[in-house]
């Protein structure tokens, strides 16, 4: 068991044994054996394994100062209690003072062990103490975070609990009462117990970045530093027994003082902070009042940089105080007997005031189970097989090599095999990349080693997955940055010698990337119709989904013509012969509501005008059906393209365009701006070109159209915040449509309206179109960005 990172023996058995005492002053049976009528608890087989990765339990984490053994009848009444204290020379087995004959034959009893409780023995000895009271017991340790340190009032051990089960059996998933006396055998009753800690362990590893160096000394002795850490909103109370984490919702919180010491391990390049806390959750609670954060002060040397992040050439400055705050759990909870590891890099100064610590980003979270498999003492043949990764999904943004994010821990050496590499094209289809040279190793994609075959440049890439040659370490992910504006997905499998496999998915982003969202139907938010009898028409595509009838103002599929009054035509008529309203395309308007009727296997769609009929009778409520006679629009792409740009250009300025009165401002300075993240309306938003002698009236009309345009996605998301693009945003669309694998020809016309006027497609000498395509800034939860 020498290589097991998590092999520990109850109470460091080489140094701690047990004797027994109880309030009844019965004769104690000590040692490893019984007298044939004994009850023996085997604690040597109990383990408190920590992480399957790199976390070891030592010192206070495995120390037991005393045990309370409580036996209850199935109805919860207490039958027995005794407190066992440590003494030298023990074997890890406790022979109770109680005899097996003291218990009713063939009856089941609950056998609970509580280790290191701060409650007085008289609490457990009380005659009316029962299982309900045990389950309701709580414990408070105001300095739980420094357990084991030589700090005033710090606990020396951790509260633990366990429920006994028959020796030789696997621990049941659900604890149960057990038989202590079968009424027949004349040998001892042997049980085994696994103890688990009530606390959570927190390990935060802070690395120094390229521009900082951790230093607690400073340039001279006149500078005073105060490095250290504390937990904000630290939970310090818990239930003695697990209670499905209900105690985590009511844990008492406090914020202790700044502390250094042994749990603040310091080097110039890495600081490791270790802390402990009780279970707590803040999933639906106030972050400020409930979230557990590590506050740390790191004195350091900092290299001054300019606004672009480049060193200014000035001498390094020494910062005696640099405060940061780090959330300790990504899941917003701390669970019992669980280790939370946090890794982060510091490459900029923190706050000089402890009340205003700088939040750190780029944090990697790992959660390790402190109890995975029982390990018997000396059981070398029972060495567990395991393979864990700290992440199973990672992102790489404009980088071809990531050798720091992905970590593994394994019981044996690991290998990695690439399973699949693909991207999603402009019609939502997954496109696999193929290995260019079959003579290469299977984990190398696209490196030309002499083959005369030349691949399409868009798919040419080199991809390698390289694990460290140890049982713990890093996995280097290398992939040429995508050249086709697509997010590339790399799926690979990590496998160890025992055959355990773990799958990983990598999303690799270029500087500019384009994704898409499927549209479903479109309308304008000013499409409303009031019938002569006071009812309102209903024409949105949601009628087909069987939704309840909407109240109040509804949307019709009327068409919007352009005229001097900027009016629209409803085209609504009531038919007395078949009791229905008909909504149809009328007039000479430039926009009509559209709907996706079907989607082909290749991702293209059939788009039709959305015309509806409303049927009602004296005896039936309103019913709404789609008018199957609707004419086809002749369009086939229902996808809204989402363009994300992370680098500026000499041709345009990256920045969110100014919006005035809900519309894109027409100013010259605004015309050169390109939103870093914008979506284009699909062909559901296509319009007929319009023209008018008064160009300003026409521009006002198209700007109003985008302001009132609505497109609903197939997932039900309503996009209603559209606007006209700027001049340079139209040029960006011209540039990327059809030039990449991920955007179809969106602007098929030869000229389109921007907020500042018409923009002609490159290469067109005599433009005639006056077309419209709306866009929206995509910075909200609707797009997941």
Half-sphere exposure of 37 (CA within 13 A, CB side): 8
Residue 548 falls within a domain, yes or no?
yes
pLDDT for 121 equals 93
Question: Which residues are paired to 782 by β-bridges?
Answer: none
The pLDDT value recorded for residue 442 is 40
pLDDT value at position 319? 93
Domain count within the chain: 5
Residues 647 and 675 in one domain: yes
Instruction: Among 313, 334, 369, give the residue marking a domain's end.
Output: 369
Within-domain flag for 295: yes
Q: Is residue 376 part of a domain?
A: no
Q: What is the pLDDT of residue 554?
A: 34
The reported pLDDT for the residue numbered 139 is 95
Q: Around Cβ 43, how many Cβ atoms within 10 Å? A: 29
Task: Determine the pLDDT at residue 261.
Answer: 81
Nearest CA among 637, 657, 638, 636 for reference residue 722: 657
Residue 182 sits in a domain whose CATH number is 2.60.40
SS3 513: strand
Distance of CA 528 to the CA centre of its chain: 42
CA dihedral 48, 54, 55, 57 (to 10 degrees): 50
| pLDDT of the residue at 71 | 97
Q: Does residue 146 sit within a domain?
A: yes
Q: Please check whether residue 591 lies inside any domain of the structure.
A: yes
Task: Report if residue 3 sits inside a domain.
Answer: no
Whether residue 9 is contained in a domain is answered as no
Q: What is the pLDDT of residue 297?
A: 95
Last residue of a domain, one of 340, 369, 398: 369
The answer to whether residues 363 and 405 touch, using CB atoms and an 8 Å cutoff, is no
Are residues 230 and 147 part of one domain?
no
One domain for residues 153 and 290: no
Nearest to 11 by CA among 52, 53, 51, 42: 42
Predicted confidence at residue 542, as pLDDT, reads 40
Question: Do residues 208 and 316 share a domain?
Answer: yes
What local confidence, expressed as pLDDT, does residue 708 receive?
86
701 & 556 share domain: no
The pLDDT, as a whole number, for residue 179 is 93
Reduced 3-state DSSP string for 647-710 = CCCCCCEECCCCEECCEECCCHHHHCEECCEEEECCHHHCCCCCCCCCHHHHHHHHHHHHHHEE
Q: Left if phi > 0, otherwise alpha if psi is -120 to 50, otherwise beta: which for 398? A: left
Cα–chain-centroid distance for residue 501?
A: 22
- Decide: 141 and 156 in contact? Cβ < 8 Å: no
Q: Are residues 355 and 396 in the same domain?
A: no
Are 555 and 430 part of one and the same domain? no
DSSP 217-274: S-SSTT-----EEEEETEE-EEESS--TTHHHHS--EE----B-STTEEE-SSEEEEE
The CB density around residue 527, as the number of other CB atoms within 10 Å, is: 25
Low-confidence ranges of the chain (pLDDT < 50): 1-32, 44-57, 87-91, 372-383, 437-458, 529-576, 578-588, 613-630, 781-785
The overall longest dimension of the chain from CA atoms, in Å, is 111
Integer Cα distance of 299 and 208 in angstroms: 11
**Do 90 and 163 have their domain in common?**
yes
**Does residue 499 sit in the same domain as residue 548?**
no
What's this model's pTM, rounded to 2 decimal places?
0.50
- Out of 169, 197, 225, a domain closes at 197
User: Is residue 6 in some structural domain?
Assistant: no
| 350 and 213 co-located in one domain | yes
Which residue range forms the structural domain that includes residue 355?
Answer: 199-369
Is there a single domain that holds both residue 203 and residue 343?
Answer: yes
Residues 364 and 394 in one domain: no
State the Cα–Cα distance between residues 464 and 432, nearest whole angstrom.
16
């Amino acid at each position: 068991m020498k290589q097991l990172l998590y092999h520990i023996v109850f109470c460091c058995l080489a140094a701690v044994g047990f004797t027994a005492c109880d309030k009844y002053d019965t004769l104690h049976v000590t040692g490893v054996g019984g007298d044939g009528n004994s009850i023996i608890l085997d604690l040597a087989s109990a383990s408190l394994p920590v992480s399957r990765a790199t976390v070891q339990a030592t010192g206070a984490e495995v120390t037991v100062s005393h045990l309370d053994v409580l036996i209850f009848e199935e109805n919860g009444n207490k039958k027995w209690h005794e407190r066992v204290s440590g003494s030298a020379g023990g074997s890890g087995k406790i022979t109770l003072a109680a005899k097996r004959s003291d218990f009713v034959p063939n009856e089941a009893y609950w056998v609970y062990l509580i280790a290191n409780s701060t409650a007085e023995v008289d609490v457990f000895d009380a005659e009316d103490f029962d299982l309900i009271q045990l389950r309701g017991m709580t414990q408070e340790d105001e300095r739980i975070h420094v357990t084991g340190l030589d700090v005033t009032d710090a606990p020396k051990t951790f509260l633990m609990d366990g429920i006994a089960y028959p020796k030789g059996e696997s621990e049941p998933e659900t604890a149960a009462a057990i038989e202590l006396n079968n009424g027949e055998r004349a040998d001892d009753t042997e049980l085994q117990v696994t103890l688990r800690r009530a606390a959570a362990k927190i390990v935060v590893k802070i690395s120094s970045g390229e521009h900082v160096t951790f230093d607690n000394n400073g340039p001279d002795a006149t500078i005073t530093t105060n490095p250290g850490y504390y937990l904000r909103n630290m939970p310090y109370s818990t239930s003695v027994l697990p209670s499905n984490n209900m105690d985590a919702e009511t844990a008492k919180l406090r914020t202790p003082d700044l502390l250094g010491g042994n749990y603040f391990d310091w080097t110039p390049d890495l600081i490791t902070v270790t802390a402990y806390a009780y279970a707590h959750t803040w999933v639906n609670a106030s972050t400020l009042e409930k979230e557990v954060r590590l506050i740390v002060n790191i004195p350091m040397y900092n290299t001054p940089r300019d606004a672009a992040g480049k060193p200014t050439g000035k001498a390094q400055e020494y910062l005696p105080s640099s405060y940061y705050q780090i959330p300790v759990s990504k899941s917003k909870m701390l669970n019992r007997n669980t280790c939370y590891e946090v890794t982060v890099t510091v490459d900029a100064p923190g706050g000089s005031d402890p009340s205003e610590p700088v939040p750190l980003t780029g944090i990697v979270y790992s959660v390790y189970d402190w109890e995975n498999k029982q390990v018997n003492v000396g059981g070398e043949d029972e060495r567990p097989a395991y393979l864990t990764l700290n992440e199973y999904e990672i992102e790489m943004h404009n980088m071809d090599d990531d050798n720091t994010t992905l970590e593994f821990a394994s019981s044996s050496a690991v290998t990695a095999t690439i399973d699949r590499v693909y991207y999603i094209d402009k019609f939502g289809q997954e496109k696999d990349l193929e290995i260019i040279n079959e003579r290469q190793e299977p984990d190398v994609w696209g490196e030309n080693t002499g083959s005369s075959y030349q691949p399409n440049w868009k798919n040419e890439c080199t991809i390698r997955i390289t694990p460290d040659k140890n049982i713990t370490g890093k996995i280097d992910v290398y992939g040429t940055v995508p050249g086709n504006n697509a997010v590339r997905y790399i799926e690979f499998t990590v496998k160890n010698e025992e055959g355990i496999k773990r799958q990983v998915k990598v999303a690799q982003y270029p500087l500019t990337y384009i994704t898409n969202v499927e549209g479903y139907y479109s309308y304008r938010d000013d499409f409303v119709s009031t019938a002569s009898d006071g009812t309102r028409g209903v024409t949105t595509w949601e009628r087909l989904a069987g939704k309840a009838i909407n109240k109040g103002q509804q949307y019709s599929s009327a068409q919007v013509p352009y005229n001097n009054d900027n009016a629209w035509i409803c085209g609504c008529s009531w038919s007395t012969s078949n009791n229905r309203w008909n909504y149809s395309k009328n007039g000479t308007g430039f926009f009509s509501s559209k709907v996706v009727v079907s989607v082909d296997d290749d991702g293209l769609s059939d788009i039709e005008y959305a015309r509806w009929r409303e049927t009602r009778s004296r005896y039936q409520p309103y019913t709404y059906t789609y008018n199957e006679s609707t004419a086809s629009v002749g369009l086939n792409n229902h996808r809204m393209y989402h363009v994300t740009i992370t680098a500026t250009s000499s041709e345009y300025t990256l920045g969110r365009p100014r919006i005035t009165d809900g519309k894109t401002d027409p100013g010259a300075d605004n015309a050169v701006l390109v939103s870093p993240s914008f979506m284009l309306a699909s062909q559901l938003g296509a319009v007929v070109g319009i023209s008018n002698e008064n160009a300003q009236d026409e521009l006002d009309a198209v700007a109003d159209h985008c302001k009132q345009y609505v497109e609903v996605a197939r997932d039900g998301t309503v996009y209603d915040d559209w606007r006209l693009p700027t001049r340079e945003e139209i040029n960006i669309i011209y540039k990327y449509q059809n030039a990449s694998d991920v955007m179809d020809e969106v602007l098929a016309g030869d000229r389109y309206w921007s907020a500042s006027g018409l923009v002609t497609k490159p290469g067109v000498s005599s433009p005639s179109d006056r077309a419209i395509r709306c866009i929206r800034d995509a910075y909200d939860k609707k797009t997941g960005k």
